[in-house]
Amino acid sequence: MNKFKRHVSGLSLVLALLMVLTACGGGSKGGEEASGTQASGGESANSGDTPEIVMPFFVLNGIPEDMQAVNDEINKITKEKIGATVKLMPISYGTYGQQTNLMLTGNEQVDLMVVGTWFNYTTQVAKNQLLPLDDLLAQYGQDIVKTLGDNYISAGKVKGKTYGVATMRDLADMYGLVIPKDVLDKYQIKTEDIKTFDDVGNLLATIKKNEPDSTPLVPFGPGDSLLDNYMTYDNLGDKLGVLPGDATDLKVVDWFEQPEYADLLNKIRSWYEAGFIMKDAATNRDSGLELMKAGRGDVLLTRIKPGYAEQESRLIGKPVVTIPLTQPQARTSSVANMMWGIPRNAKYPDKAMQMLNLMFTDKDVANLLAWGIEGKHYVVKSDGVAGYPDGVDQNNSKYNLNQGWMFGNQFLTYVWEGDSPDLWKQLQAFNDSAVPSKALGFTFDQTPVKTEVAAVQNVLNQYKMALEWGTVDPAKVLPEFRKKLKDAGIDKIIAEKQKQLDEWAASK
Amino acid sequence: MGTTLWQRTWRNVARNKAMYVMVIPGLLYLLVNNYLPMLGLVIAFKDVDFAKGIWHSDWIGFKNFEYLFKTSDAWLITRNTLGYNAVFIVVNFAFSIAIAIFLNEITSKFFSRFYQSVLLLPYLISMIIVSYLVFALLSQDTGMMNHTILPLFGIKEISWYNEPVYWPFILVIVNLWKNAGFLCVVFLAAIIGIDKEYYEAATLDGASKWKQIRLITIPLISPVIVMMLLLFIGRIFYADFGLFFQVPMESGPIMNATNVIDTYVYRGLMQIGDIGMSAAAGCYQSIVGFVLVLLSNYVVRKINKDQALF
């Protein structure tokens, strides 16, 4: 009996704990709902039937405290201009893919959302989760088409229909290296002298010679191989079959079989063996900027654009310069990685497109989303750039989203203090100067070969990082890598890609 | 006499009303959380199209399963998953039973509690943190192994994240370190429940400590051991994702030794995000787990009917 009593008391303890847990869950849910109704506009009382557009997007640095205040300000404008309110739904980047996936499969109302190849865009299209936007664009989105231009609009097309609309930002891909200015000065290296991959090797050799204990080259970020940040070709979405940079026709080739690829691997291997590269590069989990800040290295390769050097200088805390290594190229992947789409679950697709159009045309909406409320989160300085108001800085600002590139037309927003005042002009020129890839506008649908893609991805995961950081000897491992890719069916993927590309070209 | 099965059942329920009411939340939880989602298994056999809805999407047979068996990796990941889990079970059980017995011999209550807590602590640490602890030991640039410990013995630096031969040991040790504490608590609870009179009688008869352990402790806690064993065998085709994904730091050259079915599926589908294929993997794992539980329960039943789960 005594034993039984003990069991019962144990059980009731567990039950009590469970109840506490469920109460907590219920509580937070209630909170969510409360904030939800709040978000639907404090004014919903007097305008019960104003449509509300639900608009999820991702945030990189945490959800700003004053999101709701900004949302309310935006609603004032949208109510007047498009007769709708929006419910901004910030979701942290790490969970965005999963959470929106749940919302879409769970049939929740989502009217306008960030889509793109970062978040399985082509699968969403193949599974019919997104609406074709062509009619809506023609009816409500004329300004979007005008701003982006046909080339960049076409990047959101799959099989002739548009499912995503990019934002006006840096839309071309250019790769280069980032290096602190004092390092260049110290060794009297001119930026003009560095143009090719080999030049980078020479630069690394110079630094290594003078600082034998250093490993000057660091990765840009976790999971990034060196060659992920040095692409001289159009990767056609996934690198499984690419279009070489100097391609004159639409012939898909296997990048990993190219002599150029083997050549690059040999160079990287020699760098690694000479101690130019951080030894843990292939398993690194830190951001390259953090590594640079901590003095672990001086050079990294990444995707660059006008204004990038200023941006990184601020983060690292000392002036850095960027040196381009490739020509800017406009590819589907550089445009389609982040777009806006209207899901099948949308309740107000018309209003959603109007909202998108508004983000492309309305300076106030664009600035609200990018920088917050004027006077509170930012002020416009005398030379027309925006900056923090007195007493506000990066750390205590209640709206430091800093994601102007995500909402509509970034060129409508103010340039931030410290950037060149004509930054948007430079970016526009950068976009215009980009050579469009022959396959710009082609999006590969992986679903017909998904079995092979899953297998090939696993092979890539096993070999790519180690080979492309020089940790293993390409003479021994590259043939093995190539053979496993063949076994996993990369040829079938390339054949399918070629077929889709030919169909796409024929339909153009 | 004269009472039917139905009547008997009803009387039983009436007599134990309170007990049955207490069962309801648990049953509901099981139903909602474990049984309802099983309907989702149909997704594994469909080409999901949201325009048609899940139920009306086209049936495609076993096409979603193909990628699991397509390459030579299929054998590798199956071997790794089953092999590691089998080793984990043997090593973890052996160690935690031994530790539980030792702990039981500690007479000081303070130390007994202290050791229990210390052993349990790793179980509560997130795998991500564990992966960094391991990295702090094994890193090439800064790791303690290469820079402090190995030089003491005059051994040359080892490139841990590139040498697959070490990883079976590393993973088994990390897993043991992390999970032994929990199992140990379960066994300790069982040991404490043993009536002290057995030991007193044994001591009077002059049985040594070792004999007491072998002939009293182990046989008396064997029902718990068998039950835990069956539970673990049911999960034998599910690898600890955190352990196999986080701890090896995504290092390619050691993947032959660290790739298991869960990590294979994750890596393969990261880019495509196909729910049909992930459902197929889950379905395959559950079926293998189910079969293994039935089998091992059958074996236990053959040996000792009382200890079988069903």
Residues of A in contact with B264 (CB under 8 A): 458
How confident is the model at residue B34, as a pLDDT?
87
Would you say A23 and A61 are in contact if contact means Cβ atoms under 8 Å apart?
no
Residue A102 domain flag: no
The CA distance from B222 to B230, in Å, is 12
Per-residue model confidence as pLDDT tens digits over B251-295: 989 999 999 999 999 888 877 778 888 889 989 998 988 898 899
Residues of A in contact with B273 (CB under 8 A): 97, 101, 120, 123
How confident is the model at residue A32, as a pLDDT?
37
Q: How confident is the model at residue B114 (pLDDT cuts 50, 70, 90)?
A: very high
CATH of the domain at A477: 3.40.190.10
For residues B66 and A32, the model is more confident at B66
Amino acid at the residue A449: V
How confident is the model at residue A42, as a pLDDT?
39
Residue among A447, A452, A457 whose CB faces B270 most closely: A457
Q: What's the mean pLDDT in B230-239?
A: 89
Q: What's the mean pLDDT in B176-194?
A: 93
Residue among A127, A238, A451 whose CB faces B48 most closely: A127
Would you say A414 and A383 are in contact if contact means Cβ atoms under 8 Å apart?
no
The pTM (predicted TM-score) of the whole model is 0.83
Q: Is residue A46 over pLDDT 50?
A: no
Those residues whose C-beta lies under 8 Å from the C-beta of residue A234, and which sit 6 or more positions away, are A242, A243, A245, A247, A329, A331, A332, A333, A437, A438, A439, A440
Residue among A123, A458, A488 whose CB faces B273 most closely: A123
Q: Is residue A276 over pLDDT 70?
A: yes
Which residues are bridge partners to A322 per DSSP? A178
Residue A186 domain flag: yes
The CA distance from B310 to B308, in Å, is 6
Q: Is residue B20 over pLDDT 50?
A: yes
Q: What's the mean pLDDT in B162-182?
A: 94
For residues A382 and B87, the model is more confident at B87
Would you say B268 and B69 are in contact if contact means Cβ atoms under 8 Å apart?
no
Residue among B139, B264, B274 whose CB faces A458 most closely: B264
Partner-chain contact B267 A458, CB within 8 Å = yes
A105 touching B, CB under 8 A? yes
Is A85 strand, coil or helix? Answer: strand
Partner-chain contact A487 B72, CB within 8 Å = yes
Q: Is residue A343 over pLDDT 60?
A: yes
Q: Is residue A28 over pLDDT 60?
A: no
How confident is the model at residue A48, as a pLDDT?
58
Partner-chain contact A451 B264, CB within 8 Å = no
Per-residue model confidence as pLDDT tens digits over B66-82: 888 888 788 899 999 99
Q: For chain A, how are helix, strand and coil distributed in percent, rounded to 5?
A: 50, 15, 35
Per-residue model confidence as pLDDT tens digits over A316-325: 888 999 999 9
Nearest CA in chain A to B257: A462
The CA distance from B38 to A275, in Å, is 54
φ, ψ of residue A204 in degrees (nearest 5) = -60, -40
Q: Is residue A201 over pLDDT 70?
A: yes
Residues 3-32 of chain A with CB under 8 A from chain B are 11, 15, 18
Residues of B in contact with A487 (CB under 8 A): 71-72
How much of chain A exceeds pLDDT 70, in percent? 91
* Structure tokens that stand for A200 in this block: 């980078």
For residues A33 and A190, the model is more confident at A190
Partner-chain contact A455 B52, CB within 8 Å = no
Per-residue model confidence as pLDDT tens digits over A216-245: 999 998 888 999 999 999 999 889 999 998
How confident is the model at residue A16, as a pLDDT?
52
How confident is the model at residue A197, as a pLDDT?
95
Residue among A344, A452, A461 whose CB faces B51 most closely: A344
Q: What's the mean pLDDT in A420-444?
A: 92
Q: What's the mean pLDDT in A282-300?
A: 88
How confident is the model at residue A98, as a pLDDT?
85
Partner-chain contact B49 A285, CB within 8 Å = no
**Mean pLDDT estimate for chain A:** 88
Residue A72 domain flag: no
Q: Is residue A31 over pLDDT 60?
A: no
Partner-chain contact A462 B252, CB within 8 Å = yes
Q: Where are the alpha helices (DSSP H) in chain B?
A: 5-15, 17-30, 66-69, 73-105, 109-120, 127-138, 144, 150-152, 167-192, 196-204, 209-212, 218-234, 241, 255-258, 261-269, 275-303
For residues B168 and A26, the model is more confident at B168
- d(CA B249, nearest CA chain A) in Å: 6
Q: Is residue B245 over pLDDT 70?
A: yes
Q: How confident is the model at residue A33 (pLDDT cuts 50, 70, 90)?
A: very low
How confident is the model at residue A248, as a pLDDT?
85
Amino acid at the residue A86: V
Residues of chain B with a CB closer than 8 angstroms to some CB in chain A: 22, 25, 48-52, 63, 66-67, 70-73, 132, 135, 139-142, 159, 161-162, 249-253, 255-256, 259, 264, 267-275, 277
A402 touching B, CB under 8 A? no
Q: Is residue B175 over pLDDT 90?
A: yes
**Mean pLDDT estimate for chain B:** 90
Tell me which DSSP letter residue A489 carries: T
Residues of A in contact with B142 (CB under 8 A): 280
Tell me which DSSP letter residue A402 carries: -
A195 touching B, CB under 8 A? no
Residues of A in contact with B72 (CB under 8 A): 487
Partner-chain contact A457 B161, CB within 8 Å = no
In this structure, are A34 and A178 located in the same domain? no
Residues of B in contact with A447 (CB under 8 A): 272, 274
Under CATH, what is the fold of the domain B62-307? MetI-like fold (1.10.3720)
Q: Mutation test of the interface with chain A: which of B64, B251, B272, B278, choosing the one with the most A Cβ atoms within 10 A?
A: B272
How much of chain A exceeds pLDDT 90, in percent? 67
Q: Mutation test of the interface with chain B: which of A276, A450, A481, choosing the one with the most B Cβ atoms within 10 A?
A: A450
Residue A57 domain flag: no
For residues A13 and A108, the model is more confident at A108
Q: Is residue B2 over pLDDT 70?
A: no
Residues of A in contact with B139 (CB under 8 A): 280
- Domain borders along chain B are 1-47, 62-307
Q: Mutation test of the interface with chain B: which of A98, A279, A337, A452, choosing the one with the most B Cβ atoms within 10 A?
A: A279
Tell me which DSSP letter residue A60 carries: S
Instruction: Give the H/E segment covering residue A340.
Output: strand A339-341
**Residue labelled with tokens 């869950």:** A25
Instruction: Give the H/E segment covering residue A96.
Output: helix A93-105
Q: What's the mean pLDDT in A383-398?
A: 88
How confident is the model at residue B306, as a pLDDT?
82
How confident is the model at residue A7, as a pLDDT?
52
Partner-chain contact B73 A461, CB within 8 Å = no
Residue among A123, A129, A472 whose CB faces B162 most closely: A472
Q: What's the mean pLDDT in A383-397?
A: 88
Q: How confident is the model at residue A6 (pLDDT cuts 50, 70, 90)?
A: low
In order of A183, A324, A419, B28, B115, the CA distances from A306 in angstroms are 21, 10, 10, 59, 59
Residue A141 domain flag: no
Residue among B50, B67, B275 whose CB faces A455 most closely: B67
Residues of B in contact with A129 (CB under 8 A): 50
Q: Is residue B1 over pLDDT 80?
A: no
Residue among A104, A238, A283 whose CB faces B250 most closely: A283
Those residues whose C-beta lies under 8 Å from the C-beta of residue B300, and which sit 6 or more positions away, are B226, B230, B307, B308, B309
For residues B275 and A166, the model is more confident at A166
Q: Mutation test of the interface with chain A: which of B21, B24, B67, choosing the one with the most A Cβ atoms within 10 A?
A: B67
Per-residue model confidence as pLDDT tens digits over A353-369: 999 999 999 999 999 99
Per-residue model confidence as pLDDT tens digits over A120-152: 898 899 889 999 999 999 999 999 999 999 888
For residues A20 and A361, the model is more confident at A361
Q: What's the mean pLDDT in A179-198?
A: 93
Q: Is residue B218 over pLDDT 50?
A: yes
Total structural domains in chain A?
2
Q: How confident is the model at residue A1 (pLDDT cuts 50, 70, 90)?
A: very low
- Domain coverage including residue A229: 174-327+446-508
How confident is the model at residue A260, as a pLDDT?
95
Q: What's the mean pLDDT in B207-227?
A: 92
Q: For chain B, state the CA radius of gyration.
A: 25
Alpha-carbon torsion angle A94, B122, B231, B302, nearest 10 = 150
- d(CA A79, nearest CA chain B) in Å: 31
Of the candidates A71, A80, A83, A155, the one whose C-alpha atom is nearest the C-alpha of residue A436 is A155
Partner-chain contact A283 B249, CB within 8 Å = yes
Is A239 strand, coil or helix? Answer: coil
Residue A386 domain flag: no
Query: What is the rounded end-to-end Cα distance, in angstroms, of chain B?
Result: 29
Angle value at C-alpha A452, between A449 and A458, nearest 5 degrees: 140
Q: Is residue A303 over pLDDT 80?
A: yes
Q: Is residue A399 over pLDDT 50?
A: yes
How confident is the model at residue A12, as a pLDDT?
53
